[in-house]
């Protein structure tokens, strides 16, 4: 599942108070241009475009994006569309809403690629689920006002949600119709990453993380040394037996990345603890990382709530990676081969776009390039992969 959209989103929201991160308009088009006229109706699914999707080929490298031509300041009206984008940039319109301000917001894409989950913020806090290939929409509420996080792996047959009461956050699984299936217990930070086979997940404890079965039983605690209480957030799976976890060191607000074996073996620090001083790199803490053929790349917090990319050398030193034609606030969604999928503002007005970027060759492949006066794709979720911040 995309811990909203992924655990990274939670880190950014909690630590940086960042606004909604976004993306923007595409090169190859199998649907109407976002700036064109839109059909009437609060929610219209485009059956022609849906029928054109090569569903058997939808997989790694595809992206599901909710795009809006509303102005970037968030105060104006504008229609919104749901697009499925192929690795080559072909865009298929699957749904339409008249006004972004009242449209449900995309939360997750099921790991099998079949369903998308939305949260409805107007009215009674409902949840919507869209079956992508058929256009069927189901609407329900989660008991107790639970907030949806995403789908279980490997096929997305359950929804995972959290409930917060005071400082305590509990997790639970629900059926695809919103019925409570199983309580999953307490989480210190309310985020989790599921094992690819769906048998267990990792979530935070007060001083580290724990491995919990899909039935809610504790398998084992995985403490981390030298971390502040209630700061650990599992980012994603690094490999089959290791979770990448972001935690703040004692008396520091700058997270550090750890590789935590679920076997209970000793965790190792992937990045050093960052210190900000005169002449520092500007890295205000590390949130996620990807090992590409050209090196180790970090998603890091930057000044004023932005996200930055750094390349880390073997000795732990880092070099800032700039992405051409963006304004320096670069949200990495996933990695594939030698490239990173990046969601970033491309206009000083706050318009956002989406591109594949090779940091070694600096080659760009633009999937979406939003006009300056449009917010763009307010939410983008790549197809499930261990390289995502998905659960």
**pLDDT for the residue 252:** 86
What is the CA 377 to chain-centroid distance, rounded?
A: 13
Cα torsion 324, 325, 331, 335 to 10°: value is -50
Counting Cβ atoms within 10 Å, is residue 362 exposed (0-12), middle (13-18) or buried (19+)?
exposed
pLDDT of residue 31: 44
- Using DSSP's 3-state secondary structure scheme, residue 341 falls into strand
Q: How far is CA 45 from CA 41, 96, 107, 272, 383, in A?
A: 10, 6, 18, 48, 20
How high is the pLDDT of residue 21? 30
pLDDT in tens, 76-95: 899 999 999 999 999 999 99
Residue 329 lies in a domain: yes
Task: Give the domain extent around 373.
Answer: 7-382
So what's the pLDDT on residue 40? 33
- pLDDT tens-digit profile of 218-247? 999 999 988 999 999 999 999 999 999 999
61-76 per-residue burial string, b: 16 or more CB within 10 A, e: under 16: bbbbbbbbbbbbeeee
CB atoms within 10 A of CB 36: 9
Domain-located, residue 2: no
Residue 389 covered by a domain: no
Q: Name residue, tokens 């990382």.
A: 289
pLDDT of residue 349: 82
CATH of the domain at 177: 2.130.10.120
Spatial contact of 374 and 24, defined as CB atoms under 8 Å apart: yes
* pLDDT < 70: residue spans in the chain: 1-47, 123-124, 276-280, 390-391
Residue 369 in domain = yes
| pLDDT tens string 142-191 | 998 899 999 999 999 999 999 988 778 999 999 999 999 999 999 998 99
- Let me know if residue 53 belongs to a domain: yes
Q: How many CA atoms lie within 13 A of 139 on its CB side?
A: 8
pLDDT value, residue 241: 94
Token readout for 279 is 């002449």
The number of distinct structural domains making up the chain is 1
Confidence at residue 277, expressed as pLDDT on a 0 to 100 scale: 59
The pLDDT score that the predictor gives to residue 222 is 97
Is residue 135 included in any domain, yes or no? yes
Residue 388: inside a domain: no
The per-residue pLDDT for 69 is 95
In three-state form (DSSP H/G/I as H, E/B as E, the rest C), the secondary structure along 115-147 is EEEEECCCCCCCEEEEECCCCCEEEECCHHHCE
Query: Which pLDDT does position 377 carry in this prediction?
Result: 80
Instruction: Indicate whether 128 belongs to any domain.
Output: yes
Q: How much is the pLDDT for 140?
A: 95
């Amino acid at each position: 599942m995309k811990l909203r959209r992924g655990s990274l989103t939670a880190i950014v929201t909690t630590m940086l108070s960042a606004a909604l991160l976004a993306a923007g308009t595409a090169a190859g088009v199998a649907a109407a241009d976002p700036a064109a006229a839109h059909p009437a109706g609060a929610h219209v699914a485009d059956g022609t475009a849906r029928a054109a999707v090569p569903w058997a080929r939808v997989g790694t490298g595809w992206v599901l994006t909710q795009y809006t031509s509303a102005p970037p300041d968030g105060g104006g009206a504008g229609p919104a569309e749901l697009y499925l984008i192929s690795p080559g940039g072909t865009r298929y319109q699957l749904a339409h809403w008249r006004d972004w301000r009242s449209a449900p917001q995309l939360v997750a894409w099921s790991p099998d690629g079949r369903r998308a989950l939305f949260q409805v913020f107007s009215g009674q806090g409902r949840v919507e689920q869209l079956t992508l290939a058929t256009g069927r929409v189901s609407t329900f509420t989660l008991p107790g006002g639970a907030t949806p996080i995403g789908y279980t792996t490997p096929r997305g047959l359950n929804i995972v949600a959290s409930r917060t009461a005071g400082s305590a956050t509990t997790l639970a699984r629900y059926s695809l119709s919103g019925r409570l299936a199983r309580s999953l217990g307490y989480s210190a930070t309310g985020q989790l990453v599921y094992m690819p086979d769906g048998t267990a997940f990792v979530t935070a404890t007060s001083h580290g993380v724990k491995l919990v079965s899909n039935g809610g039983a504790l398998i084992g605690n995985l403490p981390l040394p030298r971390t502040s209480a209630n700061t650990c957030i599992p980012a994603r799976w690094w490999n089959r037996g290791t979770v990448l976890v972001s935690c703040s060191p004692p008396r520091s607000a700058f997270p550090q990345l750890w590789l935590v074996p679920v076997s209970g073996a000793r965790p190792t620090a992937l990045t050093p603890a960052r210190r900000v001083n005169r002449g520092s790199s500007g890295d205000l803490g590390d949130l996620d990382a990807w090992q590409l053929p050209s090196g180790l790349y970090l998603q890091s917090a930057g000044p004023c709530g932005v996200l930055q990319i750094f390349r880390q050398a073997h000795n732990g030193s880092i070099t800032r990676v700039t992405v051409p034609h963006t304004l320096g606030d670069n949200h990495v969604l996933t990695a594939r081969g030698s490239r990173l999928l990046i969601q970033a503002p491309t206009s000083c007005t706050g318009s956002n776009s989406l591109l594949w970027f090779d940091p070694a060759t600096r080659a760009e492949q633009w999937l979406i390039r939003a006009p300056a006066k449009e917010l763009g794709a307010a939410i983008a979720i790549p197809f499930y992969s261990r390289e995502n911040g998905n659960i």
